């Protein structure tokens, strides 16, 4: 029996497929490493893709 194919994932239109970025805060800490924070895309929640919804088929009896 044939299995349904998964739809290919489309890149998120808000982040363009780059869902997580590290932003430097300026300066360095005591060990010499850059101080950074991580920001995730709020639209895709850091996945980089958006879900493609199939239209629902109506079942009638």
Phi-psi region of 9 (alpha: psi -120 to 50; beta: other; left: phi over 0): beta
pLDDT of residue 49: 87
Low-confidence ranges of the chain (pLDDT < 70): 1, 6-7, 52-56, 61
Q: Which pLDDT score, from 0 to 100, does residue 45 have?
A: 86
Q: Which residues pair with 21 in a beta bridge?
A: 39
- Left if phi > 0, otherwise alpha if psi is -120 to 50, otherwise beta: which for 44? alpha
Q: What angle do CA 8, 5, 53 make, to 5 degrees?
A: 55
Domain boundaries, given as residue ranges, for the chain:
10-50
> What pLDDT does 54 receive?
62
Q: Where are the beta strands (DSSP E) in the chain?
A: 10-11, 20-28, 34-40, 49-50
């Amino acid at each position: 029996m044939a299995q349904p194919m998964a739809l290919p994932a489309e890149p998120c239109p808000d982040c363009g497929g780059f869902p997580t970025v590290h932003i430097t805060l300026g300066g360095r800490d005591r060990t010499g490493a850059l101080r950074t924070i991580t920001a995730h895309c709020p639209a895709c929640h850091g996945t980089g893709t958006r879900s493609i919804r199939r239209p629902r088929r109506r079942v009638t009896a």
